[in-house]
């Protein structure tokens, strides 16, 4: 250190200060940039794929209208009974003389026409029945939406108060050593495989609640909702806890110095100051519940019913994909509708997360930097 | 000499194993301004915070000795720190308004004490803001966010908020250190006015400020009370060499 010139061996000249091209740094920088963009590209591509697979539903609407028209004509034919060239007549032909290739071909044509009439339209998607594999398939998404909303509501009613109160305890009341145990413990729950929670709900909770309330269906929205609350609690807890501890300590001190108790301080100062963060936590919790598949599949009973009774079985959007995607005919209407559900789930959770992110950032900055009023 | 308001007796404080205050005994008189000076880390802020038990919030703190306020030991097991702090208010270094309206900020103290009468609250808010010399500046915007006030206004509003609880003692932890000279002058003027009715203890890094506002000055160094006496004496003819060196700026 006594002789800086010797130790560094650095000569201060125009030559030594010249800009240098450092290949390894240049490459590393490009690689990590590439990786970052790749992850964004993957998300965009997944969404693109999911949405593209659901597109046929919309693009075939015109064709569907035509087919319906044709069907109507056929029905007219039936009603008028003037000609015997309706579909059933042709089928009979096909059955009686199946040695003629031409008639068989005609029958197949009719078959495709009949199948075509089952194509989902925007109108039929708003139907009240989800019966994708019946002889007369119906793709009404309403029961799935109702089921998902019902279970989300039940789950969030359980998860939000528990998680927020637990976070408040951890942030404002728990002694330091206890907080160091509670927080990681609850955060570990977030990594709990949902299939295990589902299994627990299926085997233990379902029987317990049935004994408690004495309802008929063992698996229903209530059991599923409570199980999903278990999955959402860690997320809501963690984010709420972070929001509460981010409230400047000066707030708490100011309140305590005015003679407020710890409860009053937590309730009237800390909690209100952290509202944006808590709001975001709840939104992210809802996102988690909305997209949760395995628990819904295992604990809700999966019957697509519309009703407000919480002890009725429900079928959620995510569980529908999980249950039916493996058995669906590739390229079928059913297949397309499942992809449409996937796209809807994606859009919903994406916007939920976006609102949480931007709302919170904006609000918190305003609050703590005094740009309000 | 006026009556003793706060008396500490052999007050020793540890942060974990580290001793931060070493056997401090001093008498703080009523309705006067007492200033604590000393270099950073000398324990003056820590000492100030023992006077309304704000150190209770730090888990590793251990205290021995006595602090008597009006003759009562505030570290007695029977004493509730919540009620103590209503009597011993505190103003902090960094102004810390809640993100609520000015009115709600000042009304917070009375409100948590169970006062809900609107007319009464409005009256308390007005008199408190007037006492803190900020009423004229904010009377038309009472329901705007307190975050929109300037730094100096925020600090005076915080003083008004403390006054609203009607304490007898006000502790000030470097109340003007983050403010510009004009705001500082206003705060000092305010302190001068407040000492008619309140006992004020102020920690400051600014020697001129201590000389201007205080009646008594205590010099702390490395957790010990080196010298305590009339401000004029401390600043002109201190007994200890240490004090003189610090005040004349030879170390610190």
Q: What is the pLDDT of residues B114-128, one digit of tens each?
A: 888 999 999 999 999
Give the number of A-B residue pairs with CB atoms closer than 8 Å: 79
C-alpha dist (Å) from residue B53 to B10, B76, B84, B85: 16, 11, 8, 8
Nearest CB neighbour to B165, from listed A250, A251, A259: A259
Position A358 scores a pLDDT of 85
Mutate which of B58, B83, B98 to test chain A, going by most A C-beta atoms within 10 A? B98
Task: Give the integer Cα–Cα distance in Å for A8 and B114.
Answer: 70
Domain annotation covers residue A3:
no
Return the SS3 of A240.
helix
User: pTM for this one?
Assistant: 0.77
- Do the chains contact at A258 and B165, CB–CB below 8 Å? yes
Nearest CB neighbour to B85, from listed A250, A259, A269: A259
B203: confidence class by pLDDT, cuts 50, 70, 90: very high
Position A45 scores a pLDDT of 93
Which residues on A lie below 8 Å from B98 (Cβ)? 251, 254-255, 269, 273
Domain annotation covers residue A153:
yes
Nearest CB neighbour to A258, from listed B57, B94, B161: B161
Position A110 scores a pLDDT of 43
Mean pLDDT of the A254-271 span: 92
Position A232 scores a pLDDT of 93
Task: Give the integer Cα–Cα distance in Å for B53 and A257.
Answer: 9
Domain annotation covers residue A80:
yes
Position A7 scores a pLDDT of 52
Domain annotation covers residue A6:
no
Position A115 scores a pLDDT of 45
In this model, does residue A128 exceed pLDDT 90? no
Looking at residue A348, what DSSP letter applies?
H
Position A88 scores a pLDDT of 44
Contacts for B168 with CB less than 8 Å, ≥ 6 apart: B5, B87, B88, B198, B199
Mean pLDDT of the B136-154 span: 90
Runs of H (alpha helix) within chain A? 4-8, 23-54, 56-59, 61-80, 87-96, 101-116, 122-125, 142-168, 176-190, 194-200, 206-213, 221-246, 249-257, 262-265, 271-273, 275-291, 294-299, 317-324, 333-369
- Do the chains contact at B148 and A256, CB–CB below 8 Å? no
In this model, does residue A8 exceed pLDDT 80? no
Count of structural domains within chain A: 1
- Do the chains contact at B147 and A254, CB–CB below 8 Å? no
Position A95 scores a pLDDT of 40
Position A353 scores a pLDDT of 87
Q: How far is CA A68 from the centre of its chain?
A: 34
In this model, does residue A89 exceed pLDDT 60? no
A83: confidence class by pLDDT, cuts 50, 70, 90: very low
pLDDT tens digits along A279-307 = 999 999 999 998 899 999 999 888 888 88
pLDDT tens digits along B168-184 = 999 999 998 888 888 89
| Mean pLDDT (chain A, rounded) | 80
Mean pLDDT of the A234-240 span: 94
Compare all CA atoms of chain B with the CA of A261 and give the residue at the minimum distance: B82
Position A97 scores a pLDDT of 41
Compare all CA atoms of chain B with the CA of A369 and give the residue at the minimum distance: B147
Domain annotation covers residue A1:
no
* Higher per-residue pLDDT: A136 or A100: A136
**B231 vs chain A: nearest CA distance in angstroms?**
28
In this model, does residue A86 exceed pLDDT 80? no
Position B2 scores a pLDDT of 75
ipTM above 0.85, yes or no: yes
Mean pLDDT of the B141-168 span: 91
**B203 vs chain A: nearest CA distance in angstroms?**
16
Share of chain A above pLDDT 90, in %: 36
DSSP A88-149: HHHHHHHHHTTT-HHHHHHHHHHHHHHHHTT---HHHHTSS-EETTSSS-EE--HHHHHHHH
Domain annotation covers residue A347:
yes
Position A120 scores a pLDDT of 54
Q: Which domain holds residue A128?
A: 13-373
Mean pLDDT of the A220-239 span: 93
Which residues on A lie below 8 Å from B97 (Cβ)? 254
pLDDT tens digits along B31-46 = 999 999 998 888 899 9
In this model, does residue A122 exceed pLDDT 70? no
| Mean pLDDT (chain B, rounded) | 90
Residue B62 contacts A where some CB pair is shorter than 8 Å: no
Compare all CA atoms of chain B with the CA of A176 and give the residue at the minimum distance: B59
Position B163 scores a pLDDT of 93
Residue A226 maps to which CATH number? 1.10.3720.10
Q: Residues 210..239 of B with a Cβ closer than 8 Å to A: which?
A: none
**B20 vs chain A: nearest CA distance in angstroms?**
21
A99: confidence class by pLDDT, cuts 50, 70, 90: very low
- Do the chains contact at B59 and A248, CB–CB below 8 Å? no
Nearest CB neighbour to A268, from listed B83, B112, B145: B112
pLDDT tens digits along B48-79 = 999 999 988 888 899 999 999 998 899 988 88
Which residues on A lie below 8 Å from B52 (Cβ)? 257
User: Which of A208-212, B171-175, B224-228, B248-252 has the weakest average pLDDT?
Assistant: B248-252
Position A87 scores a pLDDT of 43
Buried b (16+ CB within 10 A) or exposed e, A32-54: eeeeeeeeeeeeeeeeeebbebb
Mean pLDDT of the A182-195 span: 88
In this model, does residue A84 exceed pLDDT 60? no
Domain annotation covers residue A7:
no
Q: Residues 171..210 of B with a Cβ closer than 8 Å to A: which?
A: none
- Do the chains contact at B54 and A269, CB–CB below 8 Å? no
Position A133 scores a pLDDT of 79
Domain annotation covers residue A95:
yes
Position B87 scores a pLDDT of 92
Which residues on B lie below 8 Å from A254 (Cβ)? 92, 96-98, 158, 161
């Amino acid at each position: 250190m006594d002789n800086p010139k010797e130790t560094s061996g650095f000569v201060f000249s125009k030559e030594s200060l010249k800009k240098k091209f450092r290949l390894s740094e240049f490459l590393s920088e490009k690689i990590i940039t590439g990786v970052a963009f790749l992850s964004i590209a993957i998300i965009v591509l997944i969404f693109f794929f999911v949405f593209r697979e659901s597109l046929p539903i919309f693009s075939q609407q015109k064709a569907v209208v035509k087919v319906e028209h044709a069907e109507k004509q056929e029905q007219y034919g039936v009603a008028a009974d003037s000609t015997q060239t309706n579909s059933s007549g042709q089928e009979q032909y096909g059955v009686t003389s199946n040695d003629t290739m031409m008639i068989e071909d005609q029958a197949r044509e009719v078959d495709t026409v009949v199948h075509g009439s089952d194509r989902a339209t925007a109108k039929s998607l708003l139907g009240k029945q989800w019966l994708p594999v019946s002889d007369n398939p119906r793709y009404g998404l309403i029961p799935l939406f109702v089921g998902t909303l019902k279970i989300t509501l039940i789950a969030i009613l359980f998860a939000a108060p528990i998680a927020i109160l637990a976070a408040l305890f951890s942030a404002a009341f728990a002694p330091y050593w206890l907080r160091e145990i509670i927080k990681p413990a609850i955060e570990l729950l977030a990594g709990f495989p949902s299939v295990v929670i589902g299994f627990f709900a299926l085997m233990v909770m379902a029987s317990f609640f049935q004994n408690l309330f004495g309802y008929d269906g063992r698996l229903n929205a209530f059991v599923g909702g409570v199980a999903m609350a278990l999955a959402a609690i860690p997320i809501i807890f963690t984010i709420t806890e972070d929001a509460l501890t981010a409230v400047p300590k000066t707030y708490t001190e100011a309140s305590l110095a005015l003679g407020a108790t710890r409860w009053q301080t937590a309730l009237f100062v800390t909690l209100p100051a952290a509202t944006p963060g808590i709001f975001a936590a709840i939104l992210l919790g809802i996102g988690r519940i909305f997209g949760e598949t395995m628990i819904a599949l295992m604990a809700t009973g999966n019957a697509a019913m519309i009703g407000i009774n919480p002890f009725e079985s429900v079928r959620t959007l995510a569980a529908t994909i999980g249950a039916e995607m493996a058995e669906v005919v590739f390229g079928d209407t059913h297949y397309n509708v499942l992809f449409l559900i996937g796209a809807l789930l994606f859009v919903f959770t994406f916007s939920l997360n976006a609102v949480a992110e931007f709302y919170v950032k904006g609000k918190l900055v305003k609050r703590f930097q005094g740009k309000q009023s | 000499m006026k009556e003793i308001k706060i008396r500490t007796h052999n007050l020793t404080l540890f942060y974990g194993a580290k001793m931060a205050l070493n056997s401090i005994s001093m008498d703080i008189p009523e309705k006067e301004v007492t200033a604590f000076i000393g270099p950073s880390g000398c324990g003056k802020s820590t000492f100030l915070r023992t006077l309304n038990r704000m150190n209770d919030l730090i888990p590793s703190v251990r205290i021995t000795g006595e602090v008597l306020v009006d003759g009562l030991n505030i570290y007695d097991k029977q004493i509730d720190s919540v009620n103590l702090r209503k009597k011993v208010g505190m103003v902090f270094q960094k102004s810390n308004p809640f993100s609520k309206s000015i009115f709600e900020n000042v009304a917070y103290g009375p409100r948590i004490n169970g006062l809900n009468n609107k007319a009464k609250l409005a009256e308390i808010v007005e008199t408190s803001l007037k006492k803190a010399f900020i009423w004229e500046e904010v009377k038309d915007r009472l329901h705007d966010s307190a975050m929109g006030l300037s730094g100096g206004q925020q600090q005076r509003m915080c003083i008004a908020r403390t006054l609203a609880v009607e304490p007898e003692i006000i502790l000030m932890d470097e109340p003007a250190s983050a403010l510009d000279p004009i705001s500082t002058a206003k705060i000092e003027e305010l302190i001068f006015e407040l000492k008619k009715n309140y006992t004020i203890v102020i920690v400051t890094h600014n020697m001129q400020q201590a000389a201007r506002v205080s009646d008594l000055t205590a010099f702390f160094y490395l957790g010990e009370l080196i010298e305590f006496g009339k401000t004029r004496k401390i600043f002109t003819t201190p007994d200890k060499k240490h004090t003189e060196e610090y005040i004349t700026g030879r170390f610190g």
